[in-house]
Chain A
């Protein structure tokens, strides 16, 4: 397991008047090399959960185990530097993590801190920029002079440049244009499938992640309401509504089509292309079946 949470609760401002429990008794397992989606209504604890994954927040109760580091509530925590190097976290708002006066310095900051030479760091920065589809000319730009979408891509590049084993992203596709969004998801999927990295993505756009995610975790009011595969989710999409989420269109259409044509046992087809292809095939099969009875007719 890459990440294992046992009975984890987290309370903000514990021991103060303003204490507020964001997570209650979470038990969660995320397998190494898997691509996991996390969804839930606004304020359900998604961002809090992510910050437990690299020790930015420490559990108020329970045990968080990430790779070979274990953080237990109430105990002195181990050194977190190795953990931070191996778990890259991309925040919800890119302004929250950019601080240098050029994009290049910002991206090199991580690798330099983790002991790479300036040359290596710069090389990594260029590679990460290219992976994110950013023009290398932007390396010289002040990060705060980038557009919102470019800034988000640069923030993701700065995390990828550290070459983490686990990449955790908090709504990475918000404010990206749809083509960039699809490219980012494809890049993350490649990192997962080809390099065996563990990818965890919080998203409000389940549609774009559903075709790729191995497993899903759904939060509701700080509790884990569901953990399972996309297929399990497709079999019972009502769980989403119980979590205060709308059932994504791709899932609704798959469900309607698979019910009507009796495809319930097949792997869900969650892109428009795949669904259209399957519908065409089903219609063709039925046409042929009808055609054998009534030779020649039914042909256009």
Chain B
């Protein structure tokens, strides 16, 4: 990656992803994405949200030229997207797809994870170390010798995530990669992403409908009908009932509960835990 070329667009961090006037459509009459302008600084955690079919997956596929843009300018890690730079751009993006079956290559879980690492020409010890680390983190170290066909949907999703994270790409893109995970595993995954972000070397793009995942991110890009409907913080999103409605989203349970209580004249903040709610309600009960 050529650091000198990275454009500084906004904020204090240099932008790793810049889209200017980007459009895409199979048919020019009916664009799927229309005039998208966005700049994503290095190290940011961005959630991409919006109703089914609004162009979320299409947007991220344009970034590494899995789909060819129809118009506009895309720049990733300082490379302006064109035929000659596709290879370099793909090397800095790791993408986990919606359906893990779309990205299995190996005959076993171990082979599958090592495939990407071999492509990076890492020394054996380094590969082994990363394999152990990420399979351990995702709780799949007991599945290394399994064929992907023997795995459940959720296990496949974990393998796909491990194989991408092990390559340590500068930009990690998850296309609803946690949709088949249970709540506990999803929390663990959020923890892994939070640790990665704390290291400062990762930019994270998450396509999601999950309120808690959105809440964990720095910034939310809401798409609607192929355009950017809002570019806000998670708190701004969850306070804006009209925007939530338009983007087919729901606020987290605790936010909803607080709002429902407020609308009934009970002043409470969004509780961090059930204990906090009870503590807030208890004195209320006597002081009024």
Interface residues of A (CB under 8 A from B): 12, 18, 20, 39, 41-44, 46-47, 92-93, 95, 145-150, 153, 170-171, 174-182, 204-205, 207, 244-246, 248-250, 252-253, 255-257, 260, 272-273, 275-277, 279-280, 283, 286-287, 290, 298, 300
Binds A, one of B4-12, B69-77, B84-92, B247-255: B247-255
Q: Decide if B179 touches A175 in the complex (CB within 8 Å).
A: yes
Kindly state whether residue B285 has any CB partner on chain A within 8 Å: yes
Given A41-B184, A42-B152, A256-B275, 8 more contacts at CB 8 Å? A42-B158, A148-B52, A149-B52, A171-B153, A176-B52, A246-B182, A256-B274, A280-B261
In contact, A253 and B266 (Cβ under 8 angstroms): no
Q: Take A179-B51, A272-B260, A280-B261 as given contacts and tell me if A246 and B187 are in contact as well, using a CB distance cutoff of 8 Å.
A: yes
B257 touches A253 (CB 8 A): yes
Minimum C-beta distance from A10 to chain B (A): 13
With both beta carbons as reference points, the residue of chain A lying nearest to B150 in the complex is identified as A20
A275–B57 touching, CB < 8 Å: no
A153 vs B52: C-alpha distance in the bound complex, in angstroms?
Answer: 10
Contact B274 A283 (CB under 8 A): no
* Contact indicator B99/A95 (Cβ below 8 Å): yes
The majority secondary structure among interface residues of chain A is helix
Interface contact B277-A253, CB-CB below 8 Å: yes
A-B residue pairs in contact (CB < 8 Å), sample of 13: A18-B150, A41-B154, A148-B57, A149-B52, A177-B247, A179-B248, A204-B154, A204-B181, A245-B182, A253-B253, A272-B256, A273-B256, A277-B260
Are A246 and B249 neighbours in the complex by a CB distance under 8 Å?
Answer: no
Is there contact, CB below 8 Å, between A43 and B152? yes
Q: Mark B139-171, 1 if CB is under 8 A from A, else 0.
A: 000000001001111110110000000000000
Residue of A nearest to B211 (CB): A178
Note all chain B residues with C-beta closer than 8 A to A149: 51-53
Q: How far is the CB of B205 from chain A (nearest CB, A)?
A: 16
Q: In the bound complex, what is the Cα–Cα distance between A174 and B179 (angstroms)?
A: 5
Given contacts A148-B98, A244-B184, are A249 and B151 in contact (CB under 8 A)?
no
Residues of B within 8 A of A253 (CB): 253-254, 257, 274, 277
Instruction: Give the shortest distance, in Å, between A299 (CB) and chain B (any CB).
Output: 9
Q: Is B101 an interface residue (CB 8 A)?
A: yes
Instruction: Please state if A298 and B150 are interface contacts (CB–CB under 8 Å).
Output: no
Chain B residues in 8 Å Cβ range of A177:
50-52, 209, 247-249
* Residue numbers in A under 8 Å from B183 (CB-CB): 204-205, 245-246, 248
Residues in A with CB closer than 8 Å to B257 are 253, 272, 275-276
Q: A252-B274, A275-B257 are in contact. Are A178 and B249 (CB under 8 A)?
A: yes
Tell me the total A-B contact number using a CB cutoff of 8 A: 165
Q: Are A286 and B285 in contact (CB under 8 A)?
A: yes
Contact (Cβ within 8 A) A283 B155: no
Which A residues are CB-close (under 8 A) to B211?
178
Q: A42-B182, A177-B248 are in contact. Are A279 and B261 (CB under 8 A)?
A: yes
Least CB distance, A38 to chain B, in whole angstroms: 12
Q: Which residue of A lies closest to B264 (CB)?
A: A280
Contact between chains at A175 and B176 (CB < 8 Å): yes
| CB-based nearest A residue for B253 | A249
Alpha-carbon gap, A277 to B150, bound state (A): 47
Known contacts A148-B57, A279-B281; decide if A287 and B260 are in contact (CB<8 Å): no
Please indicate the chain B residues that have their CB under 8 angstroms from the CB of A18 in the complex: 147, 150
User: Does residue B282 face the partner (Cβ distance < 8 Å to A)?
Assistant: yes
Bound together, the chains give a CA A171 to CA B254 distance in angstroms of 24
Residues of B within 8 A of A205 (CB): 183
Q: Is B185 positioned at the interface, with any CB of A under 8 Å from its CB? A: yes
**In the complex, A256→B281 CA distance in Å?**
11
CA distance A124 to B258 in the complex (A): 43
* A145 CB contacts on chain B under 8 angstroms: 26
Residues of B within 8 A of A181 (CB): 209
Q: Tell me which residues across on chain B come within 8 A of A207, comparing CB atoms.
A: 253
Instruction: Collect the chain B residues with CB atoms within 8 Å of residue A39's CB.
Output: 182
Contact across chains for B98 and A272 when beta carbons are under 8 A apart: no
A-B pairs with the 6 shortest C-beta distances? A42-B154, A149-B52, A276-B260, A256-B274, A174-B179, A179-B248
B56 surroundings in chain A (CB, below 8 A): 147
Residues of A within 8 A of B253 (CB): 207, 249-250, 253, 272
